Amino acid sequence: MTQPRILLIVSGGIAAYKALELVRLLKAKDIAVRAVMTESAAAFVTPLSLGVLTEDHVYGDMFDLKEEREIGHIQLSREADLIVVAPATANILARMAGGIADDLATTILLATDKPVLACPAMNVRMWHHKATQRNIAQLKADGIHILEPGVGAMACNEWGKGRLPEPAEIAAEIERLLAEAPPVGEPHHLLTDTTRTINAPDLSEHNLFGRHVLVTAGPTHEPIDPVRYIANRSSGKQGFAIAAAAARAGAKVTLVAGPVMLPTPAGVTRVNVETAREMLDAVEDALPADVAILVAAVADWRAADEAPQKIKKDGGAPAPLLLAENPDILATLAKHPQRPALLIGFAAETETVVDHATAKRARKGADWIVANDVSGDVMGGATNQVHLVTGKGVEDWPEMPKSAVATRLMERIADELAGPK
Ligand code: CTP
């Protein structure tokens, strides 16, 4: 297979420094990167540092005759499989949406027939401004892929939506788009091109507006006495990332969370619980839901009798710990009169992952099982490698950040709810 090639356009914002890490990650994945900078980007990151990382000339001024002679803007686009604008400022998004070509970056973007991924990053007020939202809607309608910005603290001491997604998340999205490339040689419109091309799916379809998504996350704690409990190593990260992705996709989200210290994602209603039985109650209270994604690592057993006082050593044999089985929330929902239309479980396995997950799907009555191998350091780690087991078969997803697993799962869910095309 030929090495995939990215043309990275860096526009001028405080997040431009993250472009350096993005280049490093892409190179590590054997993806070639050539960079173009806008004039204002050079105020935030130097062409030299970008050039060292891309191991290539960094292109900037459209009227640089040498560049035009050696490699024109058409060729820069022709030699790429995908054009990525990261960070994409409100300004460059506006120029893209308006078809303005007043520098090298926007001229490439207007002249290209290649798929384009834009990763907006800006102040929260600029992001929510009607003009920006109008431009984003226009760009989506034009087939431009938009990676939604994240929510968090801003460089300008404000809080909200507008942060550039982490480089690992952008890299995962780039890999996803590259993986959709049709076979070499498929004809493409506008420019004749012998390189691989990519079909641009309409991301506006990945919309969960008006849907209620219910997510469980984290471990449960099952008290033995007032100071001791049974627990497990679940960090809650994957479930929280899924709740965040559902909210980004426009859904109303209820997150029933076991005891974890993670911040509540923007736009998510959180219900904190401690035990499996409390989790079941909270889940049933949250119904009806269109989709339930049960990511929590629910303790299978609890102490049969919770001691009212701290159990003391009495000098003899240790006190026996008698266990009782907890309710199975997934299996309960599967038989519930208000069963969500799409019921998704997770399967944490340490061996024969897919076989166990397939059996679990049937046994618990789930529609899908997201299976992962927890024999490594998945619990608490930042990445996950999962298999999606559905009624139609098994999809093996590559290892990716937990946030990217969440985004991809949300896209699959939106497609499923949208019904057959
Ligand atoms: N689950 C649940 N209630 C439980 C146990 C598990 O809702 N009491 C859900 C989990 O949230 C997950 C799925 O069931 O979506 C599978 O969880 P897992 O721990 O892998 O399965 P177990 O039922 O514990 O099966 P086993 O211990 O045999 O692997």
Residue 282 CA to residue 293 CA, distance in Å, equals 14
DSSP three-state, residue 402 = helix
Same-domain check for residues 197 and 260: no
Instruction: Please report which confidence band the pLDDT of residue 336 belongs to, taking 50, 70 and 90 as the band edges.
Output: very high
Residue 359 sits in a domain of what CATH number?
3.40.50.10300
Least confident of 55-64, 146-155, 278-287, 402-411: 55-64
Annotated active-site positions, please?
156
Same-domain check for residues 91 and 171: yes
End position of a domain, from candidates 184, 203, 222 = 203
Q: Is the CB of 299 under 6 A from ligand 1?
A: no
Query: 358: which 2 tokens?
Result: 């397939």
Residue 161 CA to residue 266 CA, distance in Å, equals 9
Q: What is the pLDDT of residue 25?
A: 93
Residue 358 CA to residue 360 CA, distance in Å, equals 5
Question: Which amino acid is located at 62 in the chain?
Answer: M
Q: What is the pLDDT of residue 380?
A: 67
Question: 407: CA distance to ligand 1 center in Å?
Answer: 23
Q: Whose CA is nearest to atom 28 of ligand 1?
A: 360
Same-domain check for residues 235 and 363: yes
Question: 346: CA distance to ligand 1 center in Å?
Answer: 7
Q: What is the mean pLDDT of the chain?
A: 87
Q: Whose CA is nearest to atom 3 of ligand 1?
A: 328
Residue 191 per-residue DSSP state = S
Work out the average pLDDT over 328-348: 97
Number of H helices, E strands in the chain: 14, 21
Question: 404: CA distance to ligand 1 center in Å?
Answer: 23
Q: Which atom of ligand 1 is nearest to the CA of 332?
A: 7
Residue 32 CA to residue 6 CA, distance in Å, equals 6
* Other beta carbons less than 10 A from residue 64's beta carbon: 12
Same-domain check for residues 230 and 199: no
Q: Is the CB of 292 under 6 A from ligand 1?
A: no
Residue 261: pLDDT above 80? yes
Question: Which amino acid is located at 39 in the chain?
Answer: E
Same-domain check for residues 49 and 189: yes
The four Cα atoms 175, 58, 49, 20 give a dihedral, to 10 degrees, of -20
Q: What is the pLDDT of residue 69?
A: 53
Same-domain check for residues 99 and 232: no
Q: Which atom of ligand 1 is nearest to the CA of 296?
A: 11
Number of domains, the chain: 2
Same-domain check for residues 55 and 187: yes
Residue 205: pLDDT above 50? no
Residues in the chain: 421
Work out the average pLDDT over 343-347: 97
Question: 347: CA distance to ligand 1 center in Å?
Answer: 7
Same-domain check for residues 317 and 411: yes
Work out the average pLDDT over 281-296: 97
Q: Is the CB of 276 under 6 A from ligand 1?
A: yes
Same-domain check for residues 275 and 150: no
Within a 13 Å sphere around the CA of 148, how many CA atoms are in the beta-carbon half?
A: 22
For residue 46, with 0-12 CB atoms within 10 Å meaning exposed, 13-18 middle and 19 or more buried, which class applies? middle
Q: What is the pLDDT of residue 83?
A: 96
End position of a domain, from candidates 175, 203, 231 = 203
Residue 229: pLDDT above 80? yes
Strand blocks (E) in 38-136: 82-88, 116-120
Residue 79: pLDDT above 50? yes
Query: Which one of 216, 273, 328 would you pick to mutate in the ligand 1 pocket, going by the greatest count of ligand atoms within 8 A of its CB?
Result: 328
Residue 188 CA to residue 190 CA, distance in Å, equals 7
Residue 393: pLDDT above 50? yes
Q: Per residue in 118-140, pLDDT tens?
A: 999 999 899 999 999 999 999 99
Query: What is the pTM assigned to this prediction?
Result: 0.57
For residue 14, with 0-12 CB atoms within 10 Å meaning exposed, 13-18 middle and 19 or more buried, which class applies? middle
Residue 175: pLDDT above 80? yes
Query: Which one of 280, 300, 375, 387 would you pick to mutate in the ligand 1 pocket, going by the greatest count of ligand atoms within 8 A of its CB?
Result: 300
Q: Per residue in 373-384, pLDDT tens?
A: 887 766 667 788
Integer distance in angstroms from the first to the last C-alpha of the chain? 31
Residue 93 sits in a domain of what CATH number?
3.40.50.1950
More confident: 3 or 202: 3
Q: Whose CA is nearest to atom 20 of ligand 1?
A: 347
- Which percentage of the chain shows pLDDT scores above 70? 88
Same-domain check for residues 118 and 150: yes
Question: 288: CA distance to ligand 1 center in Å?
Answer: 21
More confident: 93 or 350: 93
Q: Which atom of ligand 1 is nearest to the CA of 300?
A: 8
Q: What is the pLDDT of residue 315?
A: 83
Same-domain check for residues 150 and 222: no
Instruction: Please report which confidence band the pLDDT of residue 160 belongs to, taking 50, 70 and 90 as the band edges.
Output: confident
Q: What is the pLDDT of residue 367?
A: 98
Q: Which atom of ligand 1 is nearest to the CA of 347?
A: 20
Work out the average pLDDT over 91-103: 95
Domain that includes residue 188, residue range: 5-203
Q: Which atom of ligand 1 is nearest to the CA of 345?
A: 15
Q: Is the CB of 326 under 6 A from ligand 1?
A: yes
Query: 267: which 2 tokens?
Result: 């736009």
Asked whether the bond before 87 is cis by omega within 30 degrees of 0, the reply is yes
Q: Whose CA is nearest to atom 16 of ligand 1?
A: 347
Q: What is the pLDDT of residue 368?
A: 98
Residue 240: pLDDT above 90? yes
The four Cα atoms 347, 241, 230, 379 give a dihedral, to 10 degrees, of 70
Instruction: Please report which confidence band the pLDDT of residue 193 belongs to, taking 50, 70 and 90 as the band edges.
Output: very low
Residue 128 CA to residue 250 CA, distance in Å, equals 15
* Other beta carbons less than 10 A from residue 102's beta carbon: 10
Question: 195: CA distance to ligand 1 center in Å?
Answer: 46
Same-domain check for residues 354 and 414: yes
Q: What is the maximum alpha-carbon separation in the chain?
A: 90
Residue 340: pLDDT above 80? yes
Residue 1: pLDDT above 60? no
Question: 410: CA distance to ligand 1 center in Å?
Answer: 21
* Whole-number Cα distances in Å, 254 to 27, 150, 212, 310: 38, 19, 8, 35
Work out the average pLDDT over 394-414: 91
End position of a domain, from candidates 151, 180, 203 = 203
Q: Is the CB of 290 under 6 A from ligand 1?
A: no
Q: Is the CB of 298 under 6 A from ligand 1?
A: yes
